[in-house]
Amino acid sequence: MQKRTLNNGLKVICYPIEHAMSVEIGLYIRAGARYENKENNGITHLLEHMHFRQLGDMNQKDIYGTTELMGTSLRGTIHKEMLCFNVKERPKYLEKSLDIFEKILTTYDWTEEQLESEKKVVINEIYEKEDEVTLEKIYDQAIWRKNPLKRGILGGEENVKGFTVDDLVGYKKEIFSKNNVTLVITGAIDEEKSREIFEEFGKIKINEGVERKEKVEVIKGRQFKREPDVKLKNFASWNIVDVQLSFDVDLTKIKENELLFLNSIIGGGDGSYLQTEIRENQGLVYDIYSCVDIFSKESILSIIFSIDKSRLQLSILEIIKILKQLKNIISKKDVDRNMAFFTENLWYWAEETKELNFQLGSDFLNDKEVLTIEDRIMANERIDFQRMREISEMIFRKENMSLIVIGPTKGITENKLRELLYGKYDNEYNEKD
């Protein structure tokens, strides 16, 4: 693996993969809801769309036509903290693809006509999403509150209608700037070609940008400011309730791979504690799993399940019981059982280069340690059950916890759930620990 911060401030990684039959190119820009404000929320998403309208001398028809002839497509995606452009193609098309990515970096010319046309597309997308009632939407508002991550990536209709070409150009100059953009090439690429890419992309003029002074409120002993709480949303027409029990994670004390490994033990797959005990042994839920949201400064571990309303309180108490016992019951057997899947799965990154490309881009962009597949495997193999016990005790505390319930909740109040969740957390199980 070769990684460079070029003289123009562009970060580039070239990661050859032996026997790879394709190349994945990814361009990652630090942008999105986290870095927007109330007035410009949604501008990153609209800007992503505009890159499919015009790229230098290529119009929309040219862009799609070129990628179709290559048997691939250019993908644009928005995350809370990142704007991404990706393409996967055969090595013989590498030059054509790199030319497209140069154009993405250097294009600032769009017409008002193109913008107004694309606004209609984006607004229709907003309308479609507004009609959806999802746990994720309620989660963002309840969990993040004053944190900028609470913002959606689409923005609102009024914001989108108000954006001008000058707004987009000014914003692009701000985010497509030194040390804010990473280019990653993974797969069938050799050292000679990597050197050529470093040289070629080092010639591109990159904007100076502006210094971002992000203000994130922090309270003592916590990674970010978010008071634990309960959020209840009633939808009488639903048949079951959807539940999300979330815990803050301090990434200054817990490594990402440790958190992901703990998640696999708890509820990340078949044979996990929650699947075995809550679903199979007790039959309390239709389905249950845990997942992790990792951002640059914050992280959340969540347990998500659907259940009949009548069993809501019992299921919550039983889940909490398991979580509080983990500090004593996670064993070497649990680690050994999960290690094979957790570690061996990394080797598949060598064949499906998209995941590896994204991880490398995200890590390099956010100044995290950039690891090879082999390095990641070695780091995982150092994990032991004692460390899993330690971090489970760090995470599964009352002060880190929030609960979101949506569905037919008539007769249930937020105060009742708060009492259940926080009042019994200590009293119900401490004597049994």
Query: pLDDT at position 40, please?
Result: 94
pLDDT digits (tens, 9 = 90+) for 206-245: 998 766 555 444 434 444 555 567 888 888 888 899 999 9
**pLDDT-wise least confident of 8-22, 159-173, 226-240, 299-313:** 226-240
Q: Mean pLDDT across the chain, nearest whole number? A: 88
For the domain made up of 230-432, give the CATH fold.
Cytochrome Bc1 Complex; Chain A, domain 1 (3.30.830)
Q: Is the pLDDT of residue 177 over 90?
A: yes
Categorize the per-residue pLDDT at 144 as very low, low, confident or very high, splitting at 50, 70 and 90. confident
pLDDT digits (tens, 9 = 90+) for 378-417: 999 999 999 999 999 999 988 888 899 989 988 888 888 8
Question: Strand 299-307 to strand 241-249: parallel, antiparallel, or no bridges (unpaired)?
Answer: antiparallel
How far CA 403 is from CA of 36, 140, 237, 396, in Å, comes to 27, 12, 21, 13
Tokens 């009042």 locate to 423
Q: Is the pLDDT of residue 143 over 80?
A: no
Query: pLDDT at position 216, please?
Result: 47
Query: pLDDT at position 358, please?
Result: 94
Query: pLDDT at position 427, please?
Result: 54
Cα torsion 12, 15, 21, 26: sign: negative
Query: pLDDT at position 221, please?
Result: 42
Q: Is the pLDDT of residue 103 over 50?
A: yes
What is the length of the chain?
Answer: 433
Q: Is the pLDDT of residue 327 over 80?
A: yes
pLDDT digits (tens, 9 = 90+) for 163-176: 999 999 999 999 99
Instruction: Please tell me whether the overall predicted TM-score, pTM, comes out greater than 0.85 for this model.
Output: yes
Provide mean pLDDT across the span 24-36: 95
Query: pLDDT at position 141, please?
Result: 74
Query: pLDDT at position 411, please?
Result: 87
Alpha helices by DSSP H, 163-248: 165-175, 191-201
Instruction: Kindly state the percentage of the chain with pLDDT values over 90.
Output: 60
Domain boundaries, the chain: 2-201, 230-432
- Identical fold for domains 2-201 and 230-432, yes or no, is yes
Q: Is the pLDDT of residue 47 over 50?
A: yes
| Architecture, CATH, for domain 2-201 | 2-Layer Sandwich (3.30)
Q: 252, exposed or middle or buried, with CB in 10 Å at 0-12, 13-18, 19+? A: exposed
